[in-house]
Amino acid sequence: MATGNELSTRSIDKKRWLVLVLQMLVGSVTAYVYNLTIYIGPLQEQKGWDPTVVVLVWTIMMVVGLPGSLIGGKLNAKFGSRFTLKVGGLAFGLAVILSSFSTSAMMFVVTDSLACLMMYVIYVSQLANVGALFPDKSAFATGLFIAATALGTAIMAPFIEWLTRTMDLMHGIALQGAIYGIIVIVCGFIIIDAPKGYMPANMEQKLGEEELSKYADRPNYTVMQILKKPSFWLLIIGVVLGTAFCNGLSANLSLVAQAAVSVGTAAGALFYSLWQIASAVGGILVGIMSDKWFGPVKSFMLLCIVCAAASILLLAGGVSQYTLFLIVIAILGLGSGAVLTLIPDTSLQIFGERNFGFTYGILVFSGAGASLIGTQITTRCAPAMTFTYGAALCAAGAVMFFIIAAMLRREAKKETGTPAEQ
């Protein structure tokens, strides 16, 4: 006769893919703030608001990533993802609705920044939930979630643009706040939280006793334990070095393409579309690679090596070679998506779920520093120097992740007497 635990496991096994789809939906609607660019023109025309003030939301979005992740991580650890989505969805929807009552550009920035904060609160809980429900393929599931969220956000753009043309601008924003908030809250009632130590039945059947023990005894460090680990501080440096170039290209690829291969703004935009598609594919592919063969840290190292090699190849062939430039951009786009998958997966696999909000928030904040470095390079340097610096940063990132892998093995051996899987 099956025990209650077995029945529970079977039930979760059947529902976890539905939960992943619902989390993708939530991720798409809460990423509404990424489509702010659609509102900049209409807000200037109808309200007379200075675009340079409105775009401050982007800067603040990077700043609130850390506190939002910390809050979301704490709520998720104490109450679970169901509760976090309900509370976060209500707060997110109200913040968007409140922004529709703005009487000045700065008021709009403040209220929309509250929506950004709640987006991170929800997002970090989603990542933890996906990782907990898919211990057998956490990187793949995370990559799929991130890719689908990015594509869903892109699909939303025409709907948002249509609203700006068919109804009053502020009424359209309020309507979206209500719709998106309700979607998140409803999903919060439907999704499930994985019980502690959950492993799907097929995972238990495929793995031997020693491997099962490894998953059952996954690390779950306290904040103080994390802060005492040299590997944590090295990981911050590794993220900065390894992601700076791709982050910089992601922000300014159109301009770089125009300068490198002498194309117009329309073609530059097509290069960015290629980048986005490659990014979605890259997150999934590297997720599979991490789950099946290398683990997140070694995957990060290999990713940096590939990006450095691609940049060097472009420099050797000439940055003005259109076909070669296109191929290299596709490769680097894959790397950009891989980074979005590997950062949360590294945090979960190396430091555990208990303080995921803390570790992920710190790494996201580090990524913001990397973006600052990368955007300075891609906006200030000629294409040849841009890819020269990019190759150097990626190579330095590869070396750093090699050191991190060695450090993690040393720390694991010191704690348990056995090497960790990286």
pLDDT single digits (tens) 174-226: 999 999 999 999 999 999 998 877 888 777 666 655 555 555 556 778 889 99
Q: What is the pLDDT of residue 7?
A: 47
- Taking each continuous run of H as one helix and of E as one strand, the counts in the chain are 18, 0
Look at the alpha carbons of 410, 339, 18, 96 in this order and tell me if their dihedral is positive or negative: positive
Average pLDDT over residues 139-145: 90
Q: What is the pLDDT of residue 215?
A: 56
Q: In this model, does residue 345 exceed pLDDT 60?
A: yes
Look at the alpha carbons of 336, 342, 344, 346 in this order and tell me if their dihedral is positive or negative: negative
Q: What is the pLDDT of residue 205?
A: 63
Q: In this model, does residue 4 exceed pLDDT 50?
A: no
pTM confidence score: 0.81
Q: What is the pLDDT of residue 193?
A: 92
Q: Which pLDDT band holds residue 316 (cuts at 50, 70, 90)?
A: very high
Segments of 310-350 assigned E as strands = none
High-pLDDT (> 90) share of the chain, %: 45
Look at the alpha carbons of 74, 79, 82, 85 in this order and tell me if their dihedral is positive or negative: negative
Average pLDDT over residues 234-251: 90
Distance CA 42, CA 46 (A): 6
Q: Which pLDDT band holds residue 387 (cuts at 50, 70, 90)?
A: very high
Q: What is the pLDDT of residue 393?
A: 96
